[in-house]
């Protein structure tokens, strides 16, 4: 095939309507993107247009519509693990946790090394009030990927939700050994020490979190909590807890 024929075929393969939808998504304009993706579906009926529409609908929090378009994409390609992952995310956001679980399992079956899907599978178990299943998944991920911070962080969060703040604190210290700039670990340690009524350490880690992430969503509430601790402990000696590092 000559060069000009290849170029001609490449031009034919491009979809300007789909591309326009993608550009709208990059500009954080999902409503406009949906219109382009739907026009693209009418013209091409291709998998990329369905996927694009589903992502735009998800941004618009119209999860049922996102799911509908992903199901249509699945009919075109039933072995595309990304479709099942997106279905899992949308079902989770739509509070259909059993269906989320099912689709994350399918994702992992098709793509066993997909760590994001493994994390979401564990979160689905948490949402279904199955903490032991979630914990075992986090443990397995960490065993196979000891540097994967997200798994450590979610495991610590699960322990906190179960009231085990001392063990959670140990995990946050482990995270800082991997990345000493990971702001969520400092926030987690602040909360753990706070819950254990070890306020000097809580203040130290809360302040470190704010320094690392001054525009973080939690900053306002943490700053308020710092003020409350300082007021409550004024003139008193504050005890320390030594967490084994």
What is the distance between the alpha carbons of residues 95 and 127, in angstroms, rounded to a whole number?
Answer: 9
What is the distance between the alpha carbons of residues 49 and 70, in angstroms, rounded to a whole number?
Answer: 10
What is the distance between the alpha carbons of residues 232 and 220, in angstroms, rounded to a whole number?
Answer: 19
Residue keyed to tokens 């610590």: 156
So what's the pLDDT on residue 8?
39
Domains and CATH numbers, the chain: 14-73 (1.25.40.10), 79-145 (1.25.40.10), 160-245 (1.25.40.10)
Q: Can you give the pLDDT of all 245 residues of the chain as single tens digits? A: 443 443 334 434 578 999 999 999 999 999 999 999 999 999 988 999 999 999 999 999 999 999 999 999 999 999 999 999 999 999 999 999 999 999 999 999 999 999 999 999 999 999 999 999 999 999 999 999 999 999 999 999 999 999 999 999 999 999 999 999 999 999 999 999 999 999 999 999 999 999 999 999 999 999 999 999 999 887 554 443 333 33
């Amino acid at each position: 095939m000559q060069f000009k024929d290849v170029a001609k075929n490449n031009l034919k393969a491009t979809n300007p309507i789909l591309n326009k939808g993608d550009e709208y998504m990059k500009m954080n304009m999902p409503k406009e993107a949906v219109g382009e993706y739907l026009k693209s579906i009418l013209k091409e009926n291709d998998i990329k247009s369905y996927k694009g529409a589903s992502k735009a609908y998800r941004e618009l929090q119209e999860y049922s519509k996102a799911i509908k378009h992903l199901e249509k994409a699945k009919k075109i390609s039933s072995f595309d693990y990304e479709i099942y992952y997106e279905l899992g995310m949308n079902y989770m956001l739509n509070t259909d946790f059993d269906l989320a679980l099912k689709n994350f399992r399918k994702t992992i079956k098709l793509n066993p090394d997909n760590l994001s899907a493994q994390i979401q599978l564990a979160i689905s178990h948490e949402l279904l009030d199955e903490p032991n299943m979630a914990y075992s998944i986090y443990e397995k991920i960490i065993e196979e990927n000891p540097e994967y911070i997200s798994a450590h962080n979610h495991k610590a969060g699960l322990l906190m939700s179960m009231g085990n703040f001392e063990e959670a604190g140990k995990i946050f210290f482990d995270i800082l050994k991997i990345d000493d700039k990971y702001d969520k670990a400092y926030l987690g340690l602040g909360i753990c020490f706070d819950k254990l009524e070890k306020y000097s350490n809580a203040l130290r880690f809360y302040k470190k979190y704010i320094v690392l992430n001054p525009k973080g969503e939690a900053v306002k509430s943490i700053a308020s909590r710092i003020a409350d601790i300082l007021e409550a402990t004024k003139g008193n000696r504050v005890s320390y807890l030594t967490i084994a590092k």
